[in-house]
Structure formats: structure tokens, C-alpha cells
Amino acid sequence: MGLLRALLVSVLVASAASATPRADHVVVALGDSLTAGLGVGVEEAYPALLEARLRREGFDYRVVNAGVSGDTSAGGLRRLDWALKLKPQVLIVALGANDGLRGQPPAALRANLTQIVERARGAGARVLLAGMRVPPNYGDEYARAFAAVYASVARATGVPLAPFLLDGVAGDPRLNQADGIHPTAEGQRVIAEHLWPHLRPLLAK
């Protein structure tokens, strides 16, 4: 099923790209359902909102939404070669939510994220790492170890870190759908606003 989802996303992305003017530069947002925009329109997910912001600010970039619902950091690593074929100038890495929900070991998350960052940089992409947290019911020890992975990877690889992808969104019922996990369209706008200051320094006019 994971491969089928990835193939479906690649078809959708290719269709979207052919329907819009091609830009000189590419940003790829590699993530899960939070990036894919589960429950909202494609144009309402934060990658599309970032692309609109880029155009308004005078940057000639297109943003490819490489979010796949249910994906883990291991799944993102398996899809990385496909993402890098797009020759992105910037790769946003927003993975780990499903690792946490499944109780995956923080060490495995750290290893996967490190490989993604290092391989992307080796291909010439600048990387923005977006942090994730797990709900407190997973236990304080696990929650602390999980959250610490992102700062650890950022320090070790020297890439910028947006500390928490869902900053200002998580836990706010006004910004989340009925499942309490996936942001509404307004929640996606908040994500895009919080990512922008971290993304902006990585861009070239």
C-alpha cells in the first residue's frame, strides 16, 4: 500500500505541475498527512500556501507537495530518491508524526532523518527540518526523547530547524479537524506562516 500511495502522489504532483507554469526553482515538502493536507483542499495545504507566498514575495519557485498520508521517516527515506529527481533547491523535511504515534524508537527516527538530510545535501539541496512532538499520554520520558531528536539532527548536520511543525496549531480545537490531529484550512495557514521565517533564508531571488 505504501508504494501505491507514493505512486499516486507522484501522478498527482506531475498533473499539478503540468497545469501550472514551471518555475526556475523547486521546493519539495517531504512529509506525511500533515503535509499532504488530509481533509482540506490541495490548495489549502501549507505547501500550496508557501508557493503562493513565494510568488507574492517575488521568488520564482514552485513547491511540490510530497506528503503521503500514513508515512513514517522510514517511508520518507525510501521516497527520497524520487523527491531528489525533481532537483529541489530546498527540501522541507516534515516527518516523524507517524513514528511517534506508532511508538517507534527515537534512535530509529534520528537515523532516518539524518540519512534524509545528508543525502539531500549531498544532492545539492538546502534542507529545512521541521520538528514534531507526541502527545503527553505517550509518557514524559518518550515525549522528551522524541522531541530531542530534531534538535540533535539539526545540530549534527548543521541544518536549520523549525522546532515544531504544529506550533500554535496542536491542541487548538479551532484549528484542527474533528480527529484532533489534522489541521483545518486555517490551521494549515498558521503552519505556513510559522514555516516562512525559517524557509526565507534558504531562498535565492
**Catalytic pick from 15, 18, 140, 179?**
179
**Cβ–Cβ contacts within 10 Å for residue 64, how many?**
23
**Residue 33 appears among annotated catalytic residues:** yes
pLDDT band at 19 (very low <50, low <70, confident <90, very high): very low
Sign of CA dihedral 115, 119, 122, 128: negative
Beta strands at 161-162 and 61-67: parallel, antiparallel or unpaired: unpaired
| Mean pLDDT score across all residues of the chain | 91
pLDDT band at 205 (very low <50, low <70, confident <90, very high): low
More confident position, 61 or 17: 61
**Residue 194 appears among annotated catalytic residues:** no
**Residue 99 appears among annotated catalytic residues:** no
Nearest to 97 by CA among 144, 35, 7: 35
**Catalytic pick from 33, 73, 99, 194?**
33
Residue 160's identity, in one-letter code, is: P
**Catalytic pick from 10, 73, 182, 194?**
182
Q: Which domains does the chain have, with CATH numbers?
A: 2-8+23-199 (3.40.50.1110)
Global model pTM greater than 0.85:
yes
Residue 103's identity, in one-letter code, is: G
Mean pLDDT over residues 97-124, rounded?
A: 98
8 Å CB contact between 57 and 84: no
Beta strands at 90-94 and 25-31: parallel, antiparallel or unpaired: parallel
Phi first, then psi: what are they for 131, rounded to 5°? -80, 160
Q: What percent of the chain clears pLDDT 90, i.e. is strictly above it?
A: 86
pLDDT band at 13 (very low <50, low <70, confident <90, very high): very low
91 pLDDT higher than 90: yes
